[in-house]
Structure 1
Amino acid sequence: MMKASNVILGMAAMSMLGSCAMMMAKPTTYTFKHNAVAADPSAMGTAAVMADSAGMSKTTLTLSGLTPGKAYIAHYHAFGPDSSTNPCASNGPVTVGFPNFTADAAGSATVMLSADMTKIAGDMGAYINVHYASDPSVVPVCAAIKMTKG
């Protein structure tokens, strides 16, 4: 009797673990492109975006080629009035900001954001750009998250 209940408990546990694994989504990864500016000419990176079942999005930026020791800011932007086939050039409003960060001695940085999905859903999260904290007009890299409106 004890062996039968252990087998049943084991099967139930395996079933529950399998269900949890299916609920966990894989992140979608977007590649940052260098903008046509002289700032950080080797800057590159990725944005891994994942939604959870609670209506939150989790985004991890992994960047390299930044200026060592320099402070940066990053934001999600909605499509702007100049949108075309390049969301990064559309000058859209900020919808949610990442925590400020500083590149390490090798010029690398990883920054994470957890935000309500409504802040990036639809046309709200059309692109992510990384700015110099000291001069937000300098945008070394941008990642298009959505390519067209609607």
Structure 2
Amino acid sequence: MMGHKIVLLGIAGPLLLGSCALFGLPTTYLFKHNPNQADPNAVGNAVASESGGGMVTTVLSLSGLTPGKAYIAHYHAFGPDSSTNPCASNGPVTVGFPNFTADASGNASVTVKTEQVKIEGDKGAYINVHYASDPSAVPICAPVKLAKG
């Protein structure tokens, strides 16, 4: 009987871990600079962690932004333009972060808590940081998932 339990755990373990792979533990995603002239020194990370009850809390920690400038950030789904680079795929917004402004040193931190189903799988493929005054200016992007499906 003991051998059967080991086999079941051997099968169930990876399935349980796989279901938590995106947000099972705090996961850090690094922002990369987009190929444009917006905030050339911008860097940062996004830390996503389970909040319980199917909720996820994501904290963006950013630096190198334009001091005093207003920004917006969003989770985006994969778009039609790319199956390998989420940041270039032009996908729709799935979750918005609260608007924020860089401090006098160009630093900012912003947090959003949302349902995991809104950002998992193809729905949460990347996070963009945009200028609030010009959403087409996207200094940095954090790939959350690197392939569709």
Aligned residue number for residue 119 of structure 1: 118
Instruction: Measure the CA separation in 2 of the matches of 1:26 and 1:116.
Output: 16
Aligned residue number for residue 135 of structure 1: 134
Aligned residue number for residue 110 of structure 1: 109
Bigger radius of gyration: 1
Aligned residue number for residue 66 of structure 2: 67
Aligned residues: CA RMSD? 0.9
Q: CA deviation at 1:51?
A: 1.8
Q: CA deviation at 1:84?
A: 2.5
**Where has structure 1 moved over 3 Å in runs of 4 or more?**
none
SS of the residue aligned with 1:82? coil
Instruction: Measure the CA separation in 2 of the matches of 1:56 and 1:76.
Output: 15
Instruction: Measure the CA separation in 2 of the matches of 1:83 and 1:50.
Output: 27
- The residue type equivalent to 1:122 in the other structure is G
Gaps of 5+ in 2: 1-23
Aligned residue number for residue 40 of structure 1: 39
Q: CA deviation at 1:85?
A: 1.5
Instruction: Measure the CA separation in 1 of the matches of 2:120 and 2:28.
Output: 16
Provide Cα deviations, 1:28-61, integer angstroms capped at 9, x if missing partner.
Answer: 0000000011110000000001123310010000
Aligned residue number for residue 52 of structure 1: 51
Give the TM-score, by structure 1 length. Answer: 0.82
Provide Cα deviations, 1:55-97, integer angstroms capped at 9, x if missing partner.
Answer: 0010000000000000000000000001221100000000010
- The residue type equivalent to 1:149 in the other structure is K
Instruction: Measure the CA separation in 2 of the matches of 1:52 and 1:40.
Output: 32
Q: CA deviation at 1:121?
A: 1.3
